[in-house]
Amino acid sequence: MATILALIGSARAWGNCEVLAREALAGAREVGAETLALMRLTDLRVEQCTGCMVCALRGQPCPLADDMAFLLDQVSRADAFLIAGPVYLVGPVAQAKRILDRLLMWSSAPEWAEVRPKAAITLTVGGLEPWRGVAIAFYNTLAMALGGRLMGWMSAYATGPGEVLLQPDALATARDLGRRLVSQEPMAPPPNVCPTCGADYFHIQGEHVVCPICGQEGRLTLDEGEPRVRFDADSRSERWTPSGFHHHIQDWVVPSGARFMAHRQEIKALRARYDDLGETWIRPPTPSL
Ligand SMILES: Cc1cc2nc3c(=O)[nH]c(=O)nc-3n(C[C@H](O)[C@H](O)[C@H](O)COP(=O)(O)O)c2cc1C
């Protein structure tokens, strides 16, 4: 009965992201998913967040008119969703970051705090593992910020479009994750990785480690001489859940408006120190239409 939506981060038709997404959809179909849909993120017109803050500080809808509402509507209609995205220059593809930036717009939708997260998985594809950078945790964060409850994630490494088809293990993992979208059985997180968002880099404060992406806390230990990052088996960071993100906005972002207003005149006066720089702004030529 389930409807599964695959969000593809790469613009390449039949690229590795699309192949893994299709494999995961095939896995979901095996265990009962009926409606399968694909959407290419690069087909969407997504404007860059301008930081106007009317969503957070005034509770007003985002004034940018583009395909964000369409995207959110499609995600909300699905029973479960996946994101398949490439590593570009050690990070996610820019369109995915643009979409995440725009999700501050949840500020103007208080009902978001009550949303029950739905099953989600992510499939990240890079060219080579040492260049994987921060993409995996990023796509996981995007999935959570879109209202996903992660059932698992994977990464694969392949360069030319579709080359991942030559890797049976990667296809099998994608298919297994696809099944989890329907069965809703989360995978066991790998060792030394943040169990909430999949980050494999941490802020180290003595023995205490903090995931820079989701704030999950853990401990650095030595296990027979091998360094390990340990987390409570059942503890998961709430930062990117609908209610967690809503609280961050209410508790920190909204009061930041009053803090700024209290100092606004002082800040304006302090700007005078740059009055005599004699600088010029350089702007691109106006495009001829
Ligand atoms: C602009 C660009 C930047 C890339 N940067 C990285 C990188 O930093 N690390 C990496 O592992 N792979 C990198 N790759 C390789 C892609 O992640 C890889 O080819 C992937 O399979 C692309 O997915 P697709 O086939 O679905 O488009 C880059 C590819 C492109 C086009």
Q: Which residues, judged by CB distance below 6 Å to any ligand atom, belong to the binding site of ligand 1?
A: 10, 12, 15-18, 86-90, 125-128, 131-133, 158-159, 161
- The alpha carbon of 92 and the centre of ligand 1 are apart by a number of angstroms equal to 9
Atom of ligand 1 nearest to the CA of 8: 26
Confidence of residue 244 (pLDDT cuts 50, 70, 90): very high
Q: Is the pLDDT of residue 82 over 80?
A: yes
- The alpha carbon of 177 and the centre of ligand 1 are apart by a number of angstroms equal to 22
Q: What is the predicted pLDDT for the residue at 143?
A: 98
Atom of ligand 1 nearest to the CA of 89: 8
Atom 29 of ligand 1, nearest CA residue: 88
Atom of ligand 1 nearest to the CA of 15: 25
Confidence of residue 261 (pLDDT cuts 50, 70, 90): very high
Q: What is the predicted pLDDT for the residue at 139?
A: 98
Atom of ligand 1 nearest to the CA of 18: 26
pLDDT in tens, 95-117: 999 999 999 999 999 899 999 99
pLDDT in tens, 181-221: 999 999 999 999 999 999 999 999 999 999 999 999 999 99
Q: What is the predicted pLDDT for the residue at 234?
A: 83
Mean pLDDT, the chain, as a whole number?
Answer: 96
Q: How many C-beta neighbours within 10 Å does residue 156 have?
A: 22
Q: How many C-beta neighbours within 10 Å does residue 40 have?
A: 17
Q: What is the predicted pLDDT for the residue at 233?
A: 80
Atom 31 of ligand 1, nearest CA residue: 88
pLDDT in tens, 36-65: 999 999 999 999 999 999 999 999 999 999
User: Are β-strands 118-126 and 148-157 bridged in parallel, bridged antiparallel, or unpaired?
Assistant: parallel
* pLDDT above 70 as % of the chain: 99
Integer CA distances (angstroms), 224 to 184, 206, 228, 230, 267, in order: 35, 19, 10, 14, 55
Can you list the alpha helix ranges (DSSP code H) found in the chain?
A: 16-30, 54-58, 68-77, 94-102, 135-145, 168-183, 242-248, 254-270
Which residue type does 256 have? S
List the domain boundaries for the chain. Answer: 3-187
Distance separating alpha carbons of residues 256 and 235, to the nearest angstrom? 29
- The alpha carbon of 191 and the centre of ligand 1 are apart by a number of angstroms equal to 25
Q: Give 140-183 as a DSSP string.
A: HHHHHHTTEEEEEEEEEE--STTGGGG-HHHHHHHHHHHHHHHH
Confidence of residue 232 (pLDDT cuts 50, 70, 90): confident
145: its two tokens: 């910020």
CATH (residue range 3-187) = 3.40.50.360
147: its two tokens: 């209202």
- The alpha carbon of 136 and the centre of ligand 1 are apart by a number of angstroms equal to 13
